[in-house]
Structure 1
Amino acid sequence: MTQSAPSKGKLAIIFSVIKKSLRGEELDYTTGSIRMSVILLAIPMMLEMMMESVFALVDLYFVGHLKESSFAIQTVGLTESVLTIIYSLAIGISMAATAVVARRVGEKDPKAAGKAAMQAILVASCINFVITIFGVYFGTDILLLMGASPEAAAHGTPFIRIMMGSSIIITLLFLINGIFRGAGNAAIAMKSLWIANISNIILCPIFINGLGPVPAFGLTGAAIATTIGRSIGVAYQLYHLFNGKGLLKITLAYLKPNTELIRSIVKIASPAVLQFVIASCSWIFLAQLVATTGGDHGSAGYQTAMRLMMFFLLPAWGMSNAAATLVGQNLGAKEIQRAEDSVLKTAKYNVIYMGIVMLISLLGAEILVAFFTNDAQVQAYAIRAVRIIALGYVFYGIGMVMINAFNGAGDTWTPTKVNLVGFWFFQIPLAYFLAKALKMGPEGVFIAIPVAETAITIASFILFKRGKWKEVKV
């Protein structure tokens, strides 16, 4: 009995911390325990990103059981690869919003934080108007450009048009969550994605397979369900953004264009968007390289592996988002050393998580892949990809934290330059050389991914320790 009492006490503390992190309280992260600050932010942020990854996995699961599953899986995968450009835009602007909002919150100026948030939404809405028109009109051409066969492209055109047409919804889901994270309220961000995903899980089988008066839309139904689910999540975000109960007191009047604020946001967001576009375009190139060297089965296998990778990596990205919030708020409060210590503590926890994920991927690749496809040829490619890519997971975990530390400080140019060199001058040439020159095909692409990510992480860590990010003004 005497030995179990301390254990029960520790268990009670753990549950208390988890409950506190999920409750959505807005706390001062510029004082107190750094470890507690990381944990309180990281738990809801990890759950938030885990839910973001579920969108693609749910779609992949249901369409993978359709009659023409190879076409469906390829379409979902290739569309997701194209959507990463929209994700890049959304993440880039949300990074700017998080950095500015966190800095103003750290300076104890919530009104200025609210104004910055609304100007970020205004900028994002204008940009996405153009993307929507382009994506809907050129849907088929985009799939063909990505390496899909004419038959697969024709089959997937309605899907990609709906997904590209909903770009503003995708962007707002990321952006508003970035605003909440900057304010230190990661729980609202998490809950919005839970609501969106639960809606998607319920609606996917209904719109794909049909139910009652709802006809079976097949692959197109997945896009309809996902768009409606995300829209419900955005509605939840907007309610909490405007209800006046949180730290940020926001009104529609803040949507009036403010040249100075827009310039400040664009200054941070532009390299941040470019940073993720560079990474996303490299993934698109790799997907196209796999499609041309491995055919439809190789492409479907690669897309399955990538969806699994994103499912595991997004929670790690969520944890690394804690570093962005802590860096931004502590720099605003002039707590420079605390900002650096927060990053290193977050990196430590991410390494532990990614180490566990690496073991799961190496030992359970067959089980993970079998859940999404019954095609033996697709499985063979996917299993090999999952295991090779997993070898770099620990480095991925560290690299994510470094990138978010820079972004949280408003130093979005440093990770942009690292990505440009790492992806375009190293990863892509290496993948092309291995796949084409050495005739390794898709496996050459798989190998290039962890090698490049490891190099990017090492470079990011060296630049972080140099400390120039501490001097950036936002």
Structure 2
Amino acid sequence: MTIDAPVNTPLPAPPPNLLLTAPIVPTLTRLAIPNIIAMVGTAVVSVAETSYIGRLGTEALAAIALVFPFAMLTQMMSAGAMGGGVSSAVSRALGAGDRARAEALALHAVIIGLCGGLLFTLIMQLFGRSLFMLLGGRGDVLEQACSYSVVLFSGAVSIWLVNTLASVLRGTGDMVLPSATLLVVAVLQIAIGGTFGLGLFGMPRLGMPGVASGQLVAFSLGTLFLLIYMASGRARVRLRAGSFVFERRMFLDILKVGAMACLAPLQSVLTILIFTKILATYGTATLAGYGIGSRLEFLLIPIAFAVGVASIPMVGMAVGAGQVARARRVAWTSGAASALILGVIGLVLAIYPALWVSLFTADPAVTAAAHSYFHWAGPAFPFFGLGVTLYFASQGAAKVGGPVLAASARLMLVAIGGTALMISGAPSWTLFALVTAAMVVYGLGTVTAIHLTRWVK
């Protein structure tokens, strides 16, 4: 004989949301570590690609300097900008206890990812050559840039979908699976790109298109895995395509953060593009040297991203639950951590730039230009990290206007100051000093903007 439980037996209390209650520093560290490991994979990809592109010649290095800003713009917009908007919306919904809304937001995010990837493919296939020519690409440098770009951007949809789905998972507080996926993608990208780029293991030597094929294949496989995983129901937020209903307010919840946030990486890339255009007038060696330096600058963004993206669900859930004071503490803590990490990197490379430069070239002129860049820009890296990480934290609060304006100030300083220095015939080191000033303005401007912005639920 069984005894039924009383009808009025209270349901067990839901488990506490540790992102709202746990100590900030240990929780932020726990969330950031998987991202840092994944970003190390990204850094290894960049080092490996630049290394075997260097074996293809100085023209190939100059070509990658032309394409790299657009490739990173794809990553930054899909993972850091629109991806931050996705994580913010999902985390705020979960913080308010609305799981159904979080799942609906995930499906709308996938649609945004598809559209974003298709847009990048269309733009770069139609206008890539013209853009590279505007940056000063000519002759064999231009042709190699175009051959790399055609293959790379034919897979822009996969890049956007991997980063969008990873951002949904991060919004739930899961940093491990997205990071593990990106790490595997990085390993595949190195193996495939190196094999076909250099013709290893008896494969045909395809050069720059072969290098780009690594990213195309790796991200396509990553997209397939994440779609299957999230449709299986093992994630905290499940993709339920069968119950999808188009809701304008869901798109607006993501885009009010993501669309505005996309201006920041666009401005960052415009800053690099303007600078690349100016330095192209100083010769191929200077351009290639700056390409080596700017490649590391772009790698600093993923490092700051690793810390900043860990703060998004903590800030978003705290704001969704009305814990605004905790949200702001998370933001300042993450910004300080990022500034410390990038400060150490900047100091080391300002003193010993050969640690990075010697990986890619032995050409004396290229080496001299790259060393000059690091001597000037290295000390400003902590300000850059501070600004980037606080930009991500502000996404969690759906308040990105101030950090975007700080990026605008950096862009204007480089554009106006760089043009003036070029017209006056100033030496290249003065342009690298301008990079330092622009990073400081960006970091301090972002701090000021967040300090003055009121965060509310």
Q: TM-score, normalised by structure 1?
A: 0.88
In terms of mean alpha carbon deviation, does 366-375 or 257-266 score higher?
Answer: 257-266
1:49 correspondence with 2:39:
yes
Superposed, 1:276-315 pairs within 5 Å as 276-292=265-281, 294-315=282-303
Structure 1 residues 99 and 299: CA distance shift in structure 2, 3 A:
same
1:427 correspondence with 2:419:
no
Structure 2: distance between partners of 1:203 and 1:255: 36
Hey, what does 2:426 align to over in structure 1?
440
1:173 correspondence with 2:159:
no
Structure 2: distance between partners of 1:465 and 1:130: 35
**Alignment-mate amino acid for residue 195 of structure 2:** I
Structure 1 residues 404 and 130: CA distance shift in structure 2, 3 A:
closer
Structure 1 residues 344 and 413: CA distance shift in structure 2, 3 A:
closer
Structure 1 residues 256 and 60: CA distance shift in structure 2, 3 A:
farther
1:39 correspondence with 2:26:
no
Partner of 1:123: helix, strand, or coil? helix
CA positional deviation for 1:255: 5.0
Contact 1:290-1:441 within 8 A present in 2 as well = no
CA positional deviation for 1:203: 1.4
1:324 correspondence with 2:324:
no
Structure 1 residues 254 and 428: CA distance shift in structure 2, 3 A:
farther
Contact 2:331-2:393 within 8 A present in 1 as well = yes
1:394 correspondence with 2:377:
no
**Alignment-mate amino acid for residue 427 of structure 1:** V
Superposed, 1:336-355 pairs within 5 Å as 336-355=324-343
Hey, what does 1:209 align to over in structure 2?
198
1:186 correspondence with 2:186:
no
CA positional deviation for 1:313: 4.2
The one of 431, 439, 463 aligned to 2:449: 463
Contact 1:195-1:232 within 8 A present in 2 as well = no
Contact 2:38-2:182 within 8 A present in 1 as well = yes
Structure 1 residues 356 and 89: CA distance shift in structure 2, 3 A:
closer
Hey, what does 2:393 align to over in structure 1?
405
Gaps of 5+ in 2: 1-15
Structure 2: distance between partners of 1:257 and 1:227: 30
Hey, what does 2:9 align to over in structure 1?
none
Hey, what does 1:16 align to over in structure 2?
none
Contact 1:432-1:445 within 8 A present in 2 as well = no
Contact 1:54-1:311 within 8 A present in 2 as well = no
Hey, what does 2:112 align to over in structure 1?
123
Contact 2:54-2:61 within 8 A present in 1 as well = yes
**Alignment-mate amino acid for residue 361 of structure 1:** L
CA positional deviation for 1:78: 1.2
1:271 correspondence with 2:260:
yes
In terms of mean alpha carbon deviation, does 228-237 or 324-333 score higher?
Answer: 228-237
Partner of 2:234: helix, strand, or coil? coil
Partner of 1:278: helix, strand, or coil? helix
CA positional deviation for 1:27: 6.2
Contact 2:334-2:390 within 8 A present in 1 as well = no
Structure 1 residues 139 and 455: CA distance shift in structure 2, 3 A:
closer
RMSD: 2.0
Hey, what does 2:75 align to over in structure 1?
87
Contact 2:403-2:445 within 8 A present in 1 as well = no
Structure 1 residues 254 and 54: CA distance shift in structure 2, 3 A:
farther
CA positional deviation for 1:155: 2.8
**Alignment-mate amino acid for residue 298 of structure 1:** T
Structure 1: distance between partners of 2:211 and 2:324: 46
Superposed, 1:209-228 pairs within 5 Å as 209-211=198-200, 214-228=203-217
Structure 1 residues 98 and 322: CA distance shift in structure 2, 3 A:
same
Partner of 2:352: helix, strand, or coil? helix
Contact 2:390-2:447 within 8 A present in 1 as well = yes
In terms of mean alpha carbon deviation, does 168-177 or 447-456 score higher?
Answer: 168-177
Structure 1: distance between partners of 2:153 and 2:430: 31
Structure 2: distance between partners of 1:406 and 1:313: 16
Hey, what does 1:8 align to over in structure 2?
none
Partner of 2:262: helix, strand, or coil? helix
Superposed, 1:348-367 pairs within 5 Å as 348-367=336-355
Structure 1 residues 354 and 134: CA distance shift in structure 2, 3 A:
closer
Partner of 1:30: helix, strand, or coil? helix
CA positional deviation for 1:327: 0.9
**Alignment-mate amino acid for residue 332 of structure 2:** L
Percent of aligned pairs with the same residue?
19
- Residue by residue, what CA displacement relative to the aligned partner does 1:205-225 show, whole Å, maximum 9, x if unpaired? 210122456311012110011
1:76 correspondence with 2:42:
no
